[in-house]
Chains A and B, each alone.
Chain A
């Protein structure tokens, strides 16, 4: 019988059926960070349990690390307590920690791939909903709660129900100035923020075939924003080329066997899906959010919707969003004043994001009065970007060049919005209060659109600002 990648990975990792009908699934790779793991280690100690496979758990610190003053102790005593707790837990249980001094620290979803820990045909779990990112390698990767972090530490397994699979095809060539971020914002806009509940999203089609590995990660990253806990792309040569030579990737003598194994996990050509949705790349334009969830999105040249034109079930949230965002319904979003521009996060804080943007901002200046920050997703990204001269380009243009971390993606470190500030953000969530100020406003967009906003001080079409044709 023909199978999807999900079927194959699921089968290879099934330990047994549990009495309640759930599958006890082996989790090959477990990633942890400082926010959702300390309580799990606490539970482990309370139960007198050990970590079953310490060599299959990897830790980093990302959410709470300051991106400017990185000397310890951190000025925030709670943040300091959290990094110390993680350090102590990793020491006690023998877990590899990509700590600040290692030069390999970064956002967990950037570090895993960068180190070659994220591999095709594997199962990956992390106490973080954007774990779906790792699906870009043909892994089944999902976010879990703290009790499940405990389960994985203690047993390297968890109880799960197999999701259905929705195949999402995007075919054709994206227009200049349209990026992977626009593709996923468009998909979420069309399928809804809860459209993916109960599904894994399998992304494919010629647009995905031609995407780089990093573009695939951007899309898979936001699967959860569409309600899908898992999102993946079938592994191919692009995936293998990316992994080759990375620290945790199979070494030369094992490489060919690994590639053959990885390839065999791809969905069979005649696999059947629970649902199939098709998009055309040509129909997708630069997409930005106007509201308080990632599905409230429009093309840059569209007007902010009026609630009356939306389906009835979406109206109340739309009203609430318009009040929070202080946007006028029926009017263009273009021209809205921007206070902060944030380039970073596990969605768009990778090297290719920074290189692409640097190409355009070179020799230009951030608008007076706009706070613009660039936060590399990992120390690894940061080191290469500095060597390539990207940091210089950004600094010269008036951007602040920061240390690696989650930064302004969420309000758990010193990088926060203040008051009603509006932020043009390359991150993934525009929930009320997400960026640290309960009344702060987030507009999600691609990195290039963030750059255009930084230079002009308003929400604008990057294709016009940078003459992209």
Chain B
């Protein structure tokens, strides 16, 4: 399976402030009643964006000027909570192609990389500065350069990092592990045959 080598992401950004933004906020559980991921995009941050009567609440994703953003910026421990892949799927299908935060919850991070959506860590103050740039000019183009480990916007640049294994997976086009895993069926069977509980069931 040849996958795209993701070395750079360029696009506009939107800042959704907050710490510990959990997966129930990214996609409320009631929208997970589905048997495909199609159409999940419209439910991203649904309860944050819409009141019970369907009217719009003040939320960055409701602002015309941020429509079409490819970068989502947020605070620390982004994506905590559930293992639901519905969360990164909703963000991806909404149109995001990268997330920038101070830190990420582990399962969310892994799920995002598997979709080819880089999650880059930036320092608190740098995120604030970048958010400031976006606020003053939402049309500004942001570039995440995975090889260089930095984010540039206007004439500023900031260190932006991913753990080496995630970076390698993206830049080498190996972010979806299935092809690698399928290569070693004999070894898999070999290890399995050495485990007592594999034979039992």
Contact = CB atoms under 8 A, between A and B. Distances in A.
Interface in B8-54: 17-20, 22, 24-25, 28-30, 32-37, 47, 52
A346 to B, nearest CB: 13
B143 interface: no
B185 A316 contact: no
A250 B77 CA distance: 41
Given A28-B195, A194-B76, A159 B177 contact: yes
Q: Which of A158, A194, A434 is the most central at the interface, judged by chain B CB atoms within 10 Å of its CB? A: A194
B137 interface: no
B178 A28 contact: no
A287 B12 CA distance: 44
Interface in A141-198: 143-148, 150-151, 154-159, 161, 193-194, 197-198
B178 to A, nearest CB: 6
Contacts of A330: none
Contact of B18 (A52, A224, A250, A320): A320
Interface stretch (B66-74, B104-112, B144-152): B104-112
Q: Which of B47, B89, B191 is the most central at the interface, judged by chain A CB atoms within 10 Å of its CB? A: B191
A14 B191 contact: yes
Given A26-B191, A78-B33, A145-B110, A227 B77 contact: yes
Given A20-B169, A229-B107, A411 B29 contact: yes
B90 interface: no
Interface string A222-264: 0010010100000000000000000010100010011001000
Contacts of A317: 18-20
A129 interface: yes
Given A143-B107, A411-B29, A156 B20 contact: no
A47 B194 CA distance: 29
Nearest to B34: A78
Given A52-B185, A155-B182, A198-B106, A129 B85 contact: no
Interface in B145-201: 164-165, 168-169, 172, 174, 176-178, 180-182, 184-185, 187-188, 191-192, 194-198, 200-201
B181 A411 contact: no
Nearest to B180: A18
Contact of A76 (B33, B181, B191): B33
Contact of A412 (B29, B114, B172): B29
Given A193-B80, A194-B80, A313-B76, A248 B201 contact: yes
Counting contact residues on chain A (CB < 8 A from B), the size range is 35 or more
Interface stretch (A34-42, A103-111, A269-277): A34-42
A151 B33 contact: no
Contacts of A128: 82-83
A52 B191 CA distance: 14
A24 interface: yes
Contact of A158 (B80, B164, B177): B177
Q: Which of B80, B83, B194, B196 is the most central at the interface, judged by chain A CB atoms within 10 Å of its CB? A: B83
B123 interface: no
Nearest to A419: B52
Given A35-B84, A129-B82, A313-B19, A159 B191 contact: no
B115 interface: yes
Interface of B: 17-20, 22, 24-25, 28-30, 32-37, 47, 52, 76-77, 80-86, 88-89, 103, 105-107, 110-111, 114-115, 164-165, 168-169, 172, 174, 176-178, 180-182, 184-185, 187-188, 191-192, 194-198, 200-201
